Amino acid sequence: MKTDPVAILIPAYNPDDKLVALLDDLKGRFGRILVVDDGSRGCGAVFEAVRSRGLPVAVHEVNRGKGAALKTGFRWIMENWPDAATVVTADADGQHRPGDIAKVAEASLAHPNGLALGVRAFSGKVPFRSRFGNWWTRQVFFLMTRLRISDTQTGLRGIPAALLPRMLALEGDRYEYEMRMLADAKRHDEPPVQVPIETVYIAENASSHFNPLRDSIRIYGALLKFCISSVGCFLLDNALFTAALFMATRRTDWRRATCVFAAFAVARAVSATVNYICNRKLVFKSKVSKRKSFLKYWILVLAIMAAGYGLTAGLSRVLDAKGFAITVIKIAVETALFFCSYGIQKRWIFRS
């Protein structure tokens, strides 16, 4: 494999001698390697060793995050190595083997219209936070994108040069940027190709700069806000439903199914309007037409309401439920419909 078409990009924050060892191995395979110093402190000797090997180092004066370091590297490569066919990103902590980096480079050259991902099997001795974190992100990522990626946290990625302008346009400066890069892959001409690589963790992954709480909030910010908005309106809806159901059953002689429908209508009219405003302005930050999105939203509301009413009333009759027991059944039904609602709002109603 020719090395000239491949540019290796390694973002580094407070690296140690493992970075130098990795570069020594890579120099025998690749002719173009760029290191981005993302505001490291106390690592002057490491970066001097990098430069002494004739390798360029792009520098951030202060730490700006992995996403920002990747973008700096993409710009540098586009300006200085414009004939590079693909860029392969790798981590600086020695957890990506040179042979695996070469495998991803080969896959990326053969797959010029999509990403090439080095994916780990997570077999053997893997830190619990890494195993659980990857399992969790896989499930949420599939819910959000319908893409099956077996290792959403991999930093070993092959990115064709034609996609670099697109990568630079994505938002995010820290770990959330890598997730946005994967989410954007559903719009590429080809889906990501997944290359199996060795699972390596050094000292229980102690060198990782990933903060599980802080960076998970960044990565899943939209989904978390959607959950908060939905839960708030969910509680409002059920409070209104229970109150309306109580009033209908106490003050009218309507049949049970009619009382359930009336309570549904009152509760949903109020809670859905509040939920629409929250989702449009705070969750998806959509700029689509208010009239069209509001109309689509209410089409969804009516569809979900019909499904919720049918299931709630049907289960209430089958179980001969009364009073508050009907509310419990409704909560179970609405939980199942929640996931459907998120996907439809993201892809159809508020999609820019």
How many Cβ atoms sit within 10 Å of the Cβ of residue 47?
19
Give the single-character DSSP code of 114.
S
Exposure string of 303-337, with b = 16+ CB inside 10 Å and e = fewer, is: ebbeebbebbbeebeeeebeeeebbebbeebbeee
Cβ count near 273 (within 10 Å): 15
Q: What are phi and psi of 130, to 5 degrees?
A: -75, -45
Question: pLDDT below 70 — which residues of the chain?
Answer: 1-3, 122-134, 136, 144, 201-224, 352
- Residue 83: its pLDDT value, please? 94
Q: What is the pLDDT of residue 130?
A: 59
pLDDT for res 257: 79
How far is Cα 204 from Cα 218, in angstroms, rounded to an integer?
24
Q: Are 35 and 58 in contact (CB under 8 A)?
A: yes
Query: Amino acid letter at 162?
Result: A
> Are the beta carbons of 96 and 90 closer than 8 angstroms?
yes
Q: Check residue 210 and give its pLDDT.
A: 52
What pLDDT score does 41 carry?
A: 92
What does pTM read for this prediction?
0.64
Nearest to 210, CA basis, from 288, 154, 292, 254: 154
- CA gap 154, 274 in Å, rounded: 38
> What secondary structure letter does DSSP report for 264?
H
Instruction: Report phi then psi at 39, rounded to 5.
Output: 70, 35
CA gap 263, 232 in Å, rounded: 18
Q: Which domains does the chain have, with CATH numbers?
A: 6-214 (3.90.550.10), 222-349 (no CATH)
Per-residue model confidence (pLDDT) at position 351: 74
**Six token digits for residue 10:** 């390694």
Q: Are 20 and 49 in contact (CB under 8 A)?
A: yes
Q: Give me the residue label for tokens 């089958």.
A: 318
As a whole number of angstroms, the distance between CA 177 and CA 156 comes to: 14
- Region at 172 (left for phi over 0; alpha for psi -120 to 50; beta for the rest): left
